[in-house]
Structure 1
Amino acid sequence: MTKVAIVGYGNLGRGVERALAVNSDMELVGVFTRRAPETVATEGALVFAMADLIQQKDKIDVCILCGGSATDLPQQTPELTRDFNTVDSFDTHAKIPEHFAKVDQVAMENKTVSVISTGWDPGLFSLNRLYAESILPTGTTYTFWGKGVSQGHSDALRRIGGVADATQYTIPNQEVIDKLKAGAQLELTTRDKHFRECFVVLEEGADPEVIKNEIVTMPNYFADYDTKVHFISQEELNRDHKAMPHGGTVLHAGETAPGVHQVIDYTLKLDSNPEFTASVLVAYARACARLANEKQCGAYTVLDIPPKYLSAKTVEQLRVELL
């Protein structure tokens, strides 16, 4: 049994609890939160204060970190990796090399394992980009997200001063996708591929023009996209924009000979982004524990880990059932 602690209990933490319940080789030690434990209602998990985490060290094989990428994980992952094996879903693509280097140094110094940037993008989509480009080196890879709610982008909106609540949708350019599936190879800018649409509830007295400008110019999140911002009431946001659908597509258009077109198409359609992301985190928590049992240490990404480490099945079963 791999014994797991959930650190943070928002949408992602709840998803991890549900995912652990259907993985018979994983055991949930408890949820660790910065909130008052008595105020956190789980689906059966024990709840502890963050200050109690270190006291449970001998009972925990892996901590699954469920904070946000904007401010939580850059601090929390290296901090907790000093004492624990960790898995996170850090998803600010431009900052992954920096995050990896920081966590790797801590993990190497303390002989722990940390699997960073798991989920579906970065994560499963990263693997599919690697496979596609390796198989069809003469070609181009395109990644599209949505239509769906981005947890990371919504979290970034909610951290803006004057924003009470917010939801952000990523919307792919379907016309471009159809051309690529037909075998076209296009040179696309970030702005060509997606739109972003934000629904924002303002705190009393906040200036909508100031908030809008801060959103559309935010680096790594909105500055490179055509972004629409709608200011609405909390009631409307709760009614129409609190579901968590998402998905996306990795397309690779290439040739194996002049004029011989090949298209690789990998698509996800998700009713619940956080629950699916949580399921990926749990699979990589299993891999993290296995690496630690082998006395490995350092930071890893999905690109570094053999697929067999993700499965609860034996390698003999995998060869019979999946090959």
Structure 2
Amino acid sequence: MIKAAIVGYGNLGGGVELALKESSDFQLVGVYTRRAPKDVKTYGAKVYSMDELLAMKDQIDVCILCGGSATDLPVQTPEITRFFNTVDSFDTHAKIPEHFATVNQTAIENNTVSIISTGWDPGLFSLNRLYAQSILPSGETHTFWGDGVSQGHSDALRRIDGVVDATQYTLPNKEVIEKLRLGEKLALSTRDKHFRECFVVLEAGANAEKIREEIVTMPNYFADYDTTVEFISQEELDKNHKAMPHGGTVLHTGKTNQNHHQVIEYNLSLDSNPEFTASVLVAYARACARLATEKQFGAYTVLDIAPKYLSPRTDEQLRKELL
């Protein structure tokens, strides 16, 4: 049994708890939170203060980190990797190399394993971009997200001073997708491919225009997109904008030797973004524990992990049942 801890408990942490229930080779030791443990409602998991995590080091094989990418994971992943094997879903694409370097140094120095940036993008989509570009090197890859709620972008909105709550939707440009499928060559900017819609609840007295400007100019999140911001009540947000659907497409088009147009397309349609992301985290937590057992210390991404490490089945079973 792999003994796992959940660090942080919001939508993603709750999804991880549910995913662990579906994985017979895991035992959940507990949830570790910065909040008062009595205030955290789980699906049955025991809840501990973050201050208790280190004292339980010998009881935990892997920590599944469920904080946000904006401010939590850049600090938490290297800190916790000093003492534990870790998995995170850090999703600020532009900062992944920097995050990897920091965590890798920590993991090597402390004989631990950390798999960063797991989930579906970065994560499964990253794998499919690599496969497609390797198979059809004479081609173009485009990634589209949505329609759906981005947890990371919504979290970034909620971190703004004066914002009480917020939900952000990512919307792909569907006309562009169809043109690419048909083989049209398009010079696309980031702004051409997606739109972003933000629904924001403000604190009483907050400066709406100042916050709107902070949102639409936020680097790595909104500055490169056509972004709309609508200020609404908490009641309206709770009623109409609390579901967590998402999905997206990796589309690669290319030519083979005889100039044949070839299309590789990978698509996800998700009722619950956090529950699906959590399921990916758990699969990579299994890989993390196995790499630690093999003493292959250091940081990894999904591009480094052999697929068999994700499965609870033996190599013999995989060859027989899946090949």
TM range (shorter): over 0.9
Q: Provide the rounded CA distance (Å) in 1 between the counterparts of 2:268 and 2:314.
A: 27
Residue equivalent to 1:69: 69
Please state how far the C-alpha of 1:259 moved relative to its aligned partner: 3.1
Give runs of aligned pairs for residues 119-198 of structure 1, distance below 5 A.
119-198=119-198
**DSSP-derived class of the 1:257 partner:** coil
Please state how far the C-alpha of 1:141 moved relative to its aligned partner: 0.3
Q: Provide the rounded CA distance (Å) in 2 between the counterparts of 1:13 and 1:26.
A: 15
Please state how far the C-alpha of 1:219 moved relative to its aligned partner: 0.2
**Matching residue's letter, 1:41:** K
Greater shift in the superposed pair: 167-176 or 185-194: 185-194
1:7 aligns with 2:7: yes
Give runs of aligned pairs for residues 225-236 of structure 1, distance below 5 A.
225-236=225-236
**Matching residue's letter, 1:38:** K
**DSSP-derived class of the 1:132 partner:** helix
* Deviation by residue 1:153-175 (Cα, 9 ceiling, x = unmatched): 00000011111110000000000
Residue equivalent to 1:93: 93
Residue equivalent to 1:300: 300
* Deviation by residue 1:113-170 (Cα, 9 ceiling, x = unmatched): 0000000000000000000000000000000000000000000000111111100000
Residue equivalent to 2:53: 53
Q: Provide the rounded CA distance (Å) in 1 between the counterparts of 2:53 and 2:185.
A: 51
Would the aligned equivalents of 1:244 and 1:272 in 2 still touch at CA under 8 Å?
Answer: yes
Please state how far the C-alpha of 1:48 moved relative to its aligned partner: 0.4
Q: Provide the rounded CA distance (Å) in 1 between the counterparts of 2:33 and 2:101.
A: 26
Please state how far the C-alpha of 1:258 moved relative to its aligned partner: 5.1
Would the aligned equivalents of 1:162 and 1:211 in 2 still touch at CA under 8 Å?
Answer: yes
**Matching residue's letter, 1:91:** D
Residue equivalent to 1:223: 223
Q: Provide the rounded CA distance (Å) in 2 between the counterparts of 1:303 and 1:312.
A: 19
* Deviation by residue 1:12-56 (Cα, 9 ceiling, x = unmatched): 000000000000001100000001111111111011000000111
**Matching residue's letter, 1:176:** V
Please state how far the C-alpha of 1:183 moved relative to its aligned partner: 2.3
Residue equivalent to 1:262: 262
Q: Provide the rounded CA distance (Å) in 1 between the counterparts of 2:312 and 2:256.
A: 36
**DSSP-derived class of the 2:256 partner:** strand
Residue equivalent to 1:42: 42
**Matching residue's letter, 2:265:** D
Residue equivalent to 2:80: 80
Please state how far the C-alpha of 1:257 moved relative to its aligned partner: 2.5
Q: Which runs of 5+ in 2 are unaligned?
A: none
Q: Provide the rounded CA distance (Å) in 2 between the counterparts of 1:172 and 1:250.
A: 12
Q: Provide the rounded CA distance (Å) in 2 between the counterparts of 1:303 and 1:248.
A: 19
Would the aligned equivalents of 1:185 and 1:253 in 2 still touch at CA under 8 Å?
Answer: no
Residue equivalent to 2:250: 250
Q: Which runs of 5+ in 1 are unaligned?
A: none
Note the aligned Cα RMSD (angstroms).
Answer: 0.6
Q: Provide the rounded CA distance (Å) in 2 between the counterparts of 1:233 and 1:239.
A: 10
**For the structure 1 residues 258 and 187, does the alpha-carbon distance in structure 2 shift closer, same or farther, using more than 3 Å as the test?**
farther
Q: Provide the rounded CA distance (Å) in 1 between the counterparts of 2:207 and 2:40.
A: 33
Greater shift in the superposed pair: 184-193 or 197-206: 184-193
Number of aligned residues: 323
1:277 aligns with 2:277: yes
Please state how far the C-alpha of 1:310 moved relative to its aligned partner: 0.2
